[in-house]
Amino acid sequence: MSDGMQTIQWFPGHMTKTRRKIAENLKLIDIVAEIVDARIPQSSRNPDIDALVLNKPRIIILNKSDIADPQKNRIWLDYYKKQGITAILVDCKSGKGVNLFVPTVKSILKDQLERASHKGLNKSVRVMIVGIPNVGKSSFINRLSGGKKAKVEDRPGVTMGNQWFSISKDVELLDTPGILWPKFDDMLVAEKLAFTGAIKDNVLDVEQLAARLLTCLAADYAKNLVKRYKLENSCVVGKSGLEVLEVIAKKRGMLLSGGKVDTERAAIMVLDEFRAAKLGRITLD
Ligand code: G4P
């Protein structure tokens, strides 16, 4: 993780194409549903989306809320509310919160829908999902369509390959989500994306990454580490991530010949366990 450029190059140069595609599709939709990972609500959103969607109404979906810290989930909902943005908590693993989506979208568009209704127009609400990789866009689309994705029709003007799916009587969804690129001006953001698996491990040094994660967890979630790895408090509090990684490796009997601890194996385990929420419900933003 020492070389920021290495990380940035992991993303293919699709930025201009994505921008154009989202801009084209914006003309066809009434509301943008931006999905973020509730464990890193700030780091998993590309702030350029604000300029991209301009005045389109927007809803933010805090997905993976099942594995994010419940207290922080509430803080983030309040944060968006104060900014005048409606957000909902969703868990696509169990489907919890997905049923809030249609009523919330309709309440955001209430005035627009009332105006249309006064004119005798019974128009459907059209939605586009956007988000960076791994936040759960496909999972959310599958949940909304009940796995069926009932096809509505091909429409002239829709970007080639796009289709609309009915998710309720009067709400339609563009089946292809707008994939945004993550933005990492700041190394901490890149690291958080890597912790959650949004950036693949093979472009990063796994031991350094796990050590950085453990540094963050030792500061804010020491209890979780103590519990999961049956550690003494003193092995976690005030320790560096690398020190904690070594203790975990020892505790799990991960040794190399000669008695050295196998921190690489421990690093892979810690990252896997964090991603699978075995360390508990954690939010890093
Ligand atoms: P994307 O289209 O935005 O790239 O994301 P996708 O739906 O493919 O989801 C990325 C990963 O996140 C998947 O895990 C998916 O199961 C998981 N996921 C999505 N939503 C939730 C959620 O609300 N809670 C939890 N806990 N996980 C969620 P994977 O390991 O890549 O695949 P798999 O576990 O489905 O096999």
Report the separation in Å between the CA atom of 134 and the middle of ligand 1, taken as the mean of its atom positions: 6
pLDDT of residue 5 exceeding 60: no
Mean pLDDT of 17-29: 83
Report the separation in Å between the CA atom of 52 and the middle of ligand 1, taken as the mean of its atom positions: 25
Mean pLDDT of 12-23: 70
Lowest mean pLDDT among 8-22, 45-59, 88-102, 141-155: 8-22
* SS3 letters across 133-175: CCCCHHHHHHHHCCCCCCECCCCCCCCCCCCEEEEECCEEEEC
Distance CA 281, CA 275 (A): 10
- Average predicted confidence (pLDDT) for the chain: 87
- 196-241 per-position pLDDT tens digit: 998 876 667 899 999 999 999 999 999 999 999 999 999 999 999 9
Q: What is the pLDDT of residue 157?
A: 47
Mean pLDDT of 16-45: 89
Residue of 121 and 218 predicted with greater confidence: 218
Reading the block at residue 48, the tokens are 């350029």
Helices (H), the chain: 4-8, 15-26, 49-53, 70-82, 101-108, 110-118, 137-144, 187-195, 206-220, 222-229, 241-251, 263-275
Claim: this prediction has a pTM higher than 0.85: yes
pLDDT of residue 79 exceeding 80: yes
Closest CA to 212 of 235, 232, 195, 226: 195
- 170-207 per-position pLDDT tens digit: 999 987 788 887 777 788 898 999 999 988 766 678 99
Q: Give the best-scoring range by mean pLDDT among 14-18, 166-170, 250-254.
A: 250-254
DSSP of 247-273, one letter per residue?
HHHHHTT-B-TTS-B-HHHHHHHHHHH
Mean pLDDT of 250-273: 95
Report the separation in Å between the CA atom of 139 and the middle of ligand 1, taken as the mean of its atom positions: 6
Report the separation in Å between the CA atom of 143 and the middle of ligand 1, taken as the mean of its atom positions: 12
Query: What's the Rg (C-alpha) of the chain?
Result: 21
Report the separation in Å between the CA atom of 267 and the middle of ligand 1, taken as the mean of its atom positions: 22
Q: Report the atom number in ligand 1 closest to the C-alpha of 141.
A: 7
pLDDT of residue 152 exceeding 60: no
Reading the block at residue 118, the tokens are 């006064």
Q: Report the atom number in ligand 1 closest to the C-alpha of 63.
A: 23
155 CA to centre of own chain:
30
Probe target for ligand 1 pocket from 62, 92, 96, 140, with the most ligand atoms within 8 Å of CB:
92
The residue contributing the CA closest to ligand 1 atom 17 is 136
Q: Report the atom number in ligand 1 closest to the C-alpha of 140.
A: 7
The residue contributing the CA closest to ligand 1 atom 15 is 136
The residue contributing the CA closest to ligand 1 atom 22 is 64
Residue of 53 and 85 predicted with greater confidence: 85
Q: What is the pLDDT of residue 160?
A: 55
CB within 6 Å of ligand 1 — which residues?
63-64, 66-67, 91-93, 131, 133-139
Q: What whole-number percentage of the chain has pLDDT above 90? A: 64
